[in-house]
Amino acid sequence: MLAPKKVKHRKAMRGDRIRGRATRMNTVDFGDFGLKSLTKAWVTSRQIESARRVISRYLQRGGKVWIRIFPDKSITSKGSEATMGSGKGTVDHYVAVVKPGTVMFEVGGVKDSEAEEALKLAAYKLPVKTKIVRRI
């Protein structure tokens, strides 16, 4: 699964509120088709890996897949019996912050119907509403 090799700060602040639309990574730049988010969410590294596996299995070694998001935000969790005031928990997993309009995956080098079906299957694995977009 994806995780950063080195980080400046091990434990990130939550930053619960995701505001606005994506101003970068909002166009299909590498492939022919892309999976664009319509809502905001934290996408975990497990969900990204699951979607990637679905796409690559469906395409059966044909074409190319680009993952445009990377989980670089650490999420901590405390033990179930930890008392108040015992500090922040240990790093549990990593997430990517996804805003509406972010192109998360791209596919190229395959037939249109195959690319659309692969991205549709990947969309089931993600916690955001998505739409399939074409390169302009």
Which residue in 132, 134, 127 sits closest to 97, CA to CA?
127
* Cβ-proximal residues to 7 (8 Å cutoff; 6+ apart), any chain: 72, 74
pLDDT above 90 coverage of the chain, percent: 97
- The pTM assigned to this predicted structure is 0.94
Quote the Cα angle for 42-43-47, to 5°. 155
pLDDT for residue 24: 96
Which residue in 90, 125, 87, 91 sits closest to 105, CA to CA?
125
Look at residue 5 and tell me whether its pLDDT is greater than 90: yes
pLDDT band (50, 70, 90) for residue 61: confident
pLDDT for residue 95: 98
Tens of pLDDT, residue by residue over 96-132, are: 999 999 999 999 999 999 999 999 999 999 999 999 9
Query: Which residues are paired to 97 by β-bridges?
Result: 42
51 neighbors 125 (Cβ within 8 angstroms): yes
Domains, the chain, in order of start with CATH, read 40-75+91-134 (3.90.1170.10)
pLDDT band (50, 70, 90) for residue 136: confident
d(CA 1, CA 47): 9
Element containing residue 48 per DSSP (H, E):
helix 45-59
